[in-house]
Structure 1
Amino acid sequence: MAVDHYENFPVASLLLPSRLRPAVRDLYAFARGADDIADEGDASAAARLERLEAWRAAVRDLGAGRPAQVSLTDTDRAIFARLGDTLVRHQMPIQPLLDLLSAFIQDLSVTRYADEPALLDYCRRSANPVGRLMLHLFGQTRPVDLAQSDAICTGLQRVNFCQDVSLDQAKGRCYIPLDCLARHGLEPDDMKALCADPPTPPSDAWRAVVREQAGQARRALLTGSPLAWRLPGRAGLELRLVVHGGLRILEKLAAEGNDPWTNRPILGRADAFLLCWRAFCTPCPDAASPNHHDT
């Protein structure tokens, strides 16, 4: 399994309390559905934008305590009917949902990020809302909890960027900041040769770029990781598995020489025991540990 498609939503996980599983499924359906509008199928950019704007209006309607007033497809209306019930039942905020939609809308027109602040702003809206929604469900919304959740979600998003450089390039997108590429004498279009058939092996400069981006992902995961060891019960265990999953993918990436073009790192069945052992039996990972230095 890869860290993508909102897999940091623990959808229907046996680790979730049964009372929360329907809510998580409803929130996941919203996030997955909106992302698919932005990314999947052959609709025009204008049609995608129109549909996402309708979703944004529908979320605002739900936040005002009324059913969606805009025109929606039958599938979309079913998603919003269930979402509305979940928002009321669990007294959920709508801002994380609006943030997600703003990121999906941005994906329609923005394909490059100038620097680290620009990329982090995108992560703030495309990834961090997922963790915030989950914390609201579990009633863990202290500022320190939200800040560490944001770090974990940003870290997972950046793991995904490291995994999917070739997939994103095929969509015309690059989630490596342009100033990072420039420091190594590279441009986004230079990646085309790495994705060609046959591909050109990545240069030392490209490997250094991936190593740098993986290091940023690792630091974010480690910054947020105390939350996973502080949350009680099954919520904490679920989050520890997620954190260790992201760190494990980065380990695999480093072991393959920071070359995700040739060997896209994913988690398989062989990793399951290791992740469970780490989640159950190891202390919170320390950023100063040599096992977590950038490689």
Structure 2
Amino acid sequence: MPQARIQEDLARFGPDTPDEATEMSVEDARARARELTRSQRENFSVLTRLVPEDVRDDFAAVYAFCRTADDLADEIGDADRALVLLEWWREEIDRAWSGDPRHWVFRALVPTIRRFDLSPDPFRDLVSAFEQDQSVTRYETWDQLIDYCRRSADPVGRLVLALLEEPITEEVARGSDAICTALQLTNHWQDLRRDLLDRDRIYLPREMNDIEDFERRFRVSATQGWAVDDTFLQESRELVRNCVDRTWRLFEIGADLPSRLGPRAAPVVETLSEGGVSVLRLVEDWDCETVLHRPVLSPLAKLSIVGRAWWRTRSSRRTTSSGSNSIGSAGAEI
């Protein structure tokens, strides 16, 4: 259980623990990050076999940061206490970048910071989004929701590209941000029922929602597992479908990103993007009824996504290589 894990972590490494009691070697910290990453509960594994072996510990360290920060936000059970802990987590970022890591996550992260010369800004943006979750539980406009995704999702994409040593040009950044925002939104549409019942959060923008007495009807329907009346299910389907349609446009903006990347990054990004596309398609297959149900990918579907991503990026590189050779031969003949 994530709540038990974060409470155990705080008891041993939290802000009230003396510094000397938090000592841990870098090797042990990175092993702990790998263990946490393998036990993850996201739609898609962070450490697929497509992640180059020499950066898997770095991916695990970044994941450990994100997972722990998210748990500090969501698994404490008290918004005021969560804000205090997130402020402490922000201070731990400063300590790590000054060369004095305390918490095991940052001990695991320091070699990654140094190897890739990472900026603290993406990590601070993520904490900012988690802090917002403590006070903002409803969104008035689509633009407000997109701004939240800019801090809760887009930094992760920039970090992935940094770990894979991809130059982040303007076009690459645009594609990465579009994919990451789409992934975050897909997660929201998938988790509508759970977010309401477990977190009292609704990410459906009010400006898109003209359903009468929506929140009461949503809560009753989500709690009992079937629509509260004859019209709510169809009304909610249309609302979710409109949000899904907007999310597809973001996936389309980022669709050509893998083709712009090198052979190390392309299959990783392709896998993450295809995973989100598959979940969004599953939401549609469930007729956008996620106010009542949470669709999930099967293990076979996940394996298929990895295989397709590997094959598409490999085939793309073969085509590019073949095209380059042809051009080279033609040039020689000329």
TM-score bin, normalised by smaller chain: 0.7 to 0.9
Given that residues 275 and 302 in structure 2 are in contact (C-alpha distance below 8 angstroms), is that contact kept between their aligned partners in structure 1?
no
User: Aligned AA for 1:66?
Assistant: G
Number of aligned residues: 270
SS at match of 1:19: helix
The Cα of 1:186 is off from its aligned counterpart by 5.6
Any residues of structure 2 matched to 1:1-295 within 5 Å, and which?
A: 11-42=46-77, 44-63=78-97, 65-68=98-101, 77-140=103-166, 141-170=168-197, 171-182=199-210, 184-185=211-212, 187-200=214-227, 202-272=232-302, 274-276=304-306, 278-279=308-309, 280-281=311-312
User: Aligned AA for 1:15?
Assistant: L
Counterpart CA distance in 2 for 1:96 and 1:33 is 15
The Cα of 1:88 is off from its aligned counterpart by 1.4
Provide, for residues 213-266 of structure 1, a one-character-per-residue CA deviation record: whole Å limited to 9, x for no partner.
Answer: 111221111211211232222421122122222122222222221112344221
User: Aligned AA for 2:74?
Assistant: D
Counterpart CA distance in 1 for 2:63 and 2:216 is 34
Structure 1 residues 7 and 256, CA gap change in structure 2 (3 angstroms)? closer
Root mean square deviation of aligned Cα: 2.3
The Cα of 1:209 is off from its aligned counterpart by 0.6
Provide, for residues 183-205 of structure 1, a one-character-per-residue CA deviation record: whole Å limited to 9, x for no partner.
Answer: x4463333112212253264221
Q: Which has the higher contact order (CA 8 A, sep 6+)?
A: 1
TM-score normalized by structure 2? 0.74
* Alignment gaps of 5+ in structure 2: 1-39, 317-334
The Cα of 1:180 is off from its aligned counterpart by 1.0
Given that residues 137 and 202 in structure 2 are in contact (C-alpha distance below 8 angstroms), is that contact kept between their aligned partners in structure 1?
yes
Counterpart CA distance in 2 for 1:153 and 1:194 is 30
Higher helix proportion, which one?
2
Deviating beyond 6 angstroms after TM superposition, the runs of 4 or more aligned structure 1 residues are none
The Cα of 1:152 is off from its aligned counterpart by 0.4
Structure 1 residues 131 and 186, CA gap change in structure 2 (3 angstroms)? farther
Larger radius of gyration: 2
Counterpart CA distance in 2 for 1:246 and 1:25 is 20
Counterpart CA distance in 1 for 2:224 and 2:43 is 30
Structure 1 residues 265 and 229, CA gap change in structure 2 (3 angstroms)? farther
Structure 1 residues 244 and 186, CA gap change in structure 2 (3 angstroms)? farther
TM-score normalized by structure 1? 0.84
* Alignment gaps of 5+ in structure 1: 285-295
Given that residues 6 and 32 in structure 1 are in contact (C-alpha distance below 8 angstroms), is that contact kept between their aligned partners in structure 2?
no
User: Aligned AA for 1:179?
Assistant: E
Counterpart CA distance in 1 for 2:248 and 2:93 is 33
Q: Give identity over the alignment, percent.
A: 32
Structure 1 residues 263 and 234, CA gap change in structure 2 (3 angstroms)? farther
